[in-house]
Amino acid sequence: MKKVLLWFLLAILSFSAFGAQAEERETVALTDFAQRTVQAPLHPQCVVALSASIAEAWLQAGGALRGATEDAFEQLGLAEDVQIIGTIKEPNAEVVLSLAPDLVLITDDIASHASLIETLEAVGIASYAVSLDTLEDYVRAMTDFTRLTGRDDLYEQNVTAVTEEIDQLLSRLPENAAAPTALFLRAFSTGVKVKARDHVVCDILADIGADNVAAGNPALEELSLEAIIAADPQFLFVVTMGSDEEKALAAFDALLASNPAWGTLAAVQEGRVYVLPRELFHYKPNARWAEAYKYLLAILYPDLYASPASDEAA
């Protein structure tokens, strides 16, 4: 039944596309994060975003939304006229098509999003694949987004001002100082994983001169308490993943924090275990990148940067 409905919607939209040819809207050629050349409409009127972070960035670029995934409503509190189009991992193609969007913003690394591209292309709907994993990704995405919305003022506010603040923060880093050592852990309801790279926390730690002890250490990447004790990092950072923060912290406690050996770490004994705020380090920080830098800088270099409100793990 779902396939029949999908093909019915495709047929309607394909038919509608012929009638719209007489009113061709102005487009601009963009290269998206999947290295596709996309003809995206200028000032799109009906936009669907397939993740909360993408939805937030689009709004920060001055755009409006007609549809978004469930996580966007949980995180952003979107208006009532915005339609839920499924989850980030399972967007509902029929609902997306029923909105007749002129632009769909998708992620570049989820299989269901990649398959949706073919459906959208079949009816002439533009899609733009985007990543917001790094500061450079954010700058690039906002360059394209504000080009589409025509809001250069918001680029200045949410990108230029942010990167300038980060540059100012980094200019105050101590010279020739020993690199502080750190370990970053992600806590899920089902377990705990070490992250050595490809994460907001890892990227910022590298940029502010910290030594992530998991980098190049296979024993740590496989979450070995013995290896953590051997490395004895000065700082331990934890980010909870998934929708249930309490269960994630319970798993962290069961696997690590409740173990007597964990208590032998200097970072634990001296209160340098931090549960990082999800809004900055679980979700993409977007316009709050400078705030994310400032948060970690204040922990690693308290004499140079104002301290954030601490949130230590048990």
Instruction: For residue 58, give the CATH number of its domain.
Output: 3.40.50.1980
Q: Note whether 86 and 193 are same-domain residues.
A: no
Q: Note whether 187 and 159 are same-domain residues.
A: no
Q: Note whether 91 and 202 are same-domain residues.
A: no
66 neighbors 48 (Cβ within 8 angstroms): yes
Q: Does residue 308 lie in a domain region?
A: no
Q: Does residue 12 lie in a domain region?
A: no
Query: pLDDT for 236-255, tens place per residue?
Result: 999 999 889 999 999 999 99
Pairing status of strand 37-41 against strand 27-31: antiparallel
Pairing status of strand 67-68 against strand 83-84: parallel
- Band (pLDDT 50/70/90 cuts) for residue 25 is confident
Which of 112, 136, 165 is a domain's end point? Answer: 165
Q: Note whether 159 and 184 are same-domain residues.
A: no
Which of 97, 132, 165 is a domain's end point? Answer: 165
Q: Note whether 136 and 210 are same-domain residues.
A: no
Q: Does residue 43 lie in a domain region?
A: yes
Q: Note whether 223 and 160 are same-domain residues.
A: no
Query: pLDDT for 279-293, tens place per residue?
Result: 999 999 999 999 999
What three-state secondary structure class fits 253? helix
131 neighbors 27 (Cβ within 8 angstroms): no
Q: Note whether 120 and 215 are same-domain residues.
A: no
Q: Note whether 158 and 246 are same-domain residues.
A: no
Q: What is the pLDDT of residue 49?
A: 98
Q: Does residue 46 lie in a domain region?
A: yes
**Position 29 pLDDT exceeds 80:** yes
Query: pLDDT for 44-103, tens place per residue?
Result: 999 999 999 999 999 999 999 999 999 999 899 899 999 999 999 999 999 999 999 999
Range of the domain at 211: 175-300
Task: Give the residue carrying structure tokens 């409409």.
Answer: 41
- Burial class from Cβ neighbours inside 10 Å (0-12, 13-18, 19+) for residue 10 reads middle
User: What is the average per-residue pLDDT within 176-183?
Assistant: 92
Q: Locate all alpha helices (DSSP H) within 110-252, ordered by sequence.
A: 111-122, 135-149, 152-155, 161-170, 200-207, 218-221, 225-231, 245-252
Q: Is the dihedral of CA 142, 206, 203, 291 positive or negative?
A: negative
How many other C-beta atoms are found inside a 10 Å radius of the C-beta of residue 262? Answer: 18
Q: Note whether 55 and 138 are same-domain residues.
A: yes
What three-state secondary structure class fits 208? coil
Which of 108, 139, 165 is a domain's end point? Answer: 165
Q: Is the dihedral of CA 226, 231, 232, 235 positive or negative?
A: negative
- Band (pLDDT 50/70/90 cuts) for residue 15 is very low
Range with lowest mean pLDDT among 15-24, 141-150, 155-164, 181-190: 15-24
Q: Note whether 103 and 44 are same-domain residues.
A: yes
Q: Does residue 306 lie in a domain region?
A: no
| CA–CA gap between residue 130 and residue 127 (Å, rounded) | 10
Please state the domain count of the chain: 2
Q: Note whether 153 and 188 are same-domain residues.
A: no
Q: Note whether 160 and 226 are same-domain residues.
A: no
Cα–Cα nearest to 106, from 9, 33, 10: 33
Q: Does residue 53 lie in a domain region?
A: yes
Q: Does residue 311 lie in a domain region?
A: no
